[in-house]
Structure 1
Amino acid sequence: MFKINCLNPIAQVGLDNFTEEYALTDNFNEADGVLVRSASVHDRELPSSLKAIARAGAGVNNIPLDKCAEKGIVVFNTPGANANGVKEIVLAGLLLASRDIIGGVNWVNSVKNDPDVANLVEKHKSKFGGIEISGKKLGVIGLGAIGVLVANAAIKLGMEVYGYDPYISVRSAWSLSKYIKPSKSLTEIFKECDFISIHVPAMDATKGMLNEEAFKVMKHGVRILNFSRDALINEDDMIAALNSGKVYKYVTDFPTPKMASLEGVIAIPHLGASTAESEDNCAIMAVNQLIDYLENGTIHNSVNFPDCDNGYPDNAGRIAIHHRNIPNMISQFTSAVAKENINITDMINKSKGQYAYTLIDMETSATQETVKKIEEIDGVLRVRIIK
Structure 2
Amino acid sequence: MKYDIKTYNVIAQEGLDAFPEEKYTINQSDKPQALLIRSQDMHKTKFGTSVLAIARAGVGVNNIPLLEASANGTVVFNTPGSNANAVKELVVAMLILATRPVVASAAWAKKIAGADVSTQTEKGKNHFAGTELLGKTIGVIGLGAVGSRVARAAADLGMHVIGYDPYISVEHAWKLSNDIPRAEKLSELLQKSDYVTIHIPYTDENKDLINTEELNQMKENAVLLNYSRWGIVNEKAVVAALAQGKLRRYSTDFSSNEIINNEKIVITPHIGGTTLEAEVNGAKMAAQTLRKYLETGNIINSVNFPAVEMPFEAPLRLTLIHQNVPNMVGRITTILANDSLNIDNMINRSRGKIAYTMIDMSEISDEQLAKLRKELLNIPEVIRVRALKK
Cα 1:5–1:99, aligned 2, differ >3 Å: closer, same or farther? same
Cα 1:116–1:70, aligned 2, differ >3 Å: closer, same or farther? farther
Check if 1:153 corresponds to 2:153: yes
Structure 1: unaligned runs, 5 residues or longer: none
RMSD: 1.4
Aligned equivalents of 1:116, 1:265: Cα separation in 2: 35
Q: Superposed, which structure 2 residues align to 1:24-63 within 5 Å?
A: 24-25=26-27, 29-63=30-64
Partner of 2:258: 258
Q: Secondary structure at the match of 1:85?
A: helix
Aligned equivalents of 2:204, 2:271: Cα separation in 1: 25
Aligned equivalents of 2:74, 2:207: Cα separation in 1: 26
Counting aligned pairs with the same residue, the percent is 43
Q: Superposed, which structure 2 residues align to 1:3-22 within 5 Å?
A: 3-19=4-20, 20-22=22-24
Query: What TM-score do the two structures reach when normalised by structure 1?
Result: 0.96
Partner of 1:122: 122
Q: Secondary structure at the match of 1:53?
A: strand
Aligned equivalents of 1:300, 1:32: Cα separation in 2: 18
Partner of 1:295: 295
Q: Secondary structure at the match of 1:360?
A: strand
Contact kept? 1:342, 1:364, Cα under 8 Å = no
Which segment is superposed worse, 132-141 or 36-45? 36-45
Partner of 1:364: 363
Letter in 1 for 2:361: M
Query: What TM-score do the two structures reach when normalised by structure 2?
Result: 0.95
Aligned equivalents of 1:379, 1:88: Cα separation in 2: 47
Cα 1:44–1:264, aligned 2, differ >3 Å: closer, same or farther? same
Contact kept? 1:4, 1:22, Cα under 8 Å = yes
Which segment is superposed worse, 338-347 or 301-310? 338-347
Aligned equivalents of 2:236, 2:210: Cα separation in 1: 11
Deviations, residues 297-345 of structure 1 (Å, cap 9, x unaligned): 010000000010112x221211111111111110011012222221111
Q: Secondary structure at the match of 2:248?
A: strand
- Aligned residue pair count: 384
Check if 1:277 corresponds to 2:273: no
Q: Superposed, which structure 2 residues align to 1:63-78 within 5 Å?
A: 63-78=64-79
Contact kept? 1:33, 1:50, Cα under 8 Å = yes
Deviations, residues 116-159 of structure 1 (Å, cap 9, x unaligned): 54433333323322210010000000010111111011111100
Partner of 1:239: 239
Contact kept? 2:4, 2:28, Cα under 8 Å = no
Aligned equivalents of 2:356, 2:37: Cα separation in 1: 23
Q: Superposed, which structure 2 residues align to 1:198-213 within 5 Å?
A: 198-213=198-213
Structure 2: unaligned runs, 5 residues or longer: none
Contact kept? 2:3, 2:33, Cα under 8 Å = yes
Letter in 2 for 1:25: N
Which segment is superposed worse, 201-210 or 256-265? 256-265
Partner of 1:221: 221
Aligned equivalents of 2:55, 2:156: Cα separation in 1: 35
Which segment is superposed worse, 41-50 or 213-222? 41-50
Q: Secondary structure at the match of 1:322?
A: strand
Aligned equivalents of 1:172, 1:205: Cα separation in 2: 22
Contact kept? 1:57, 1:81, Cα under 8 Å = yes
Aligned equivalents of 1:32, 1:219: Cα separation in 2: 52
Aligned equivalents of 2:52, 2:116: Cα separation in 1: 65
Q: Secondary structure at the match of 2:322?
A: strand
Aligned equivalents of 1:59, 1:292: Cα separation in 2: 21
